[in-house]
Amino acid sequence: MKGEREKPPPILASSIDHIEKIASLSPKAEKIARWFWPGPLTLIVPKKPNLPEVVTCNLNSVGVRVPNHAVALQLINLSKGLLVGTSANKTGEKPPQTAHEAARQLEEEVDVVLDGGPTTLRVPSTVVDLTKKKPRILREGPVNFKEVPDVLSQK
Give the per-residue pLDDT at 1.
Answer: 65
The gap from C-alpha 106 to its chain's centroid, in whole angstroms, comes to 20
Which secondary-structure segment (H or E) carries 147? helix 147-153
Nearest to 33 by CA among 50, 13, 53: 13
Number of domain units in the chain: 1
Give the per-residue pLDDT at 127.
Answer: 93
Q: Tell which wins on pLDDT, 110 or 23.
A: 23
For residue 18, give Cα distances in angstroms to 13, 15, 88, 101, 152: 6, 5, 23, 31, 23
Give the per-residue pLDDT at 60.
Answer: 96
Q: Is residue 61 part of a domain?
A: yes
Separation CA 136–CA 115 (nearest Å): 33
Find the CATH number of the domain harbouring 74.
3.90.870.10
Give the structural domain span for 73. 11-153
Q: What is the pTM of this model?
A: 0.89
pLDDT tens for 19-77 read 999 999 999 999 999 999 999 999 999 999 999 998 999 999 999 999 999 999 999 99
* Mean pLDDT score, 110-137: 88
Q: Is residue 2 part of a domain?
A: no
Sheet with 126-129, edge to edge strand ranges: 82-84, 11-13, 61-65, 41-46, 126-129, 136-139
Do 46 and 61 touch, CB atoms closer than 8 A?
yes
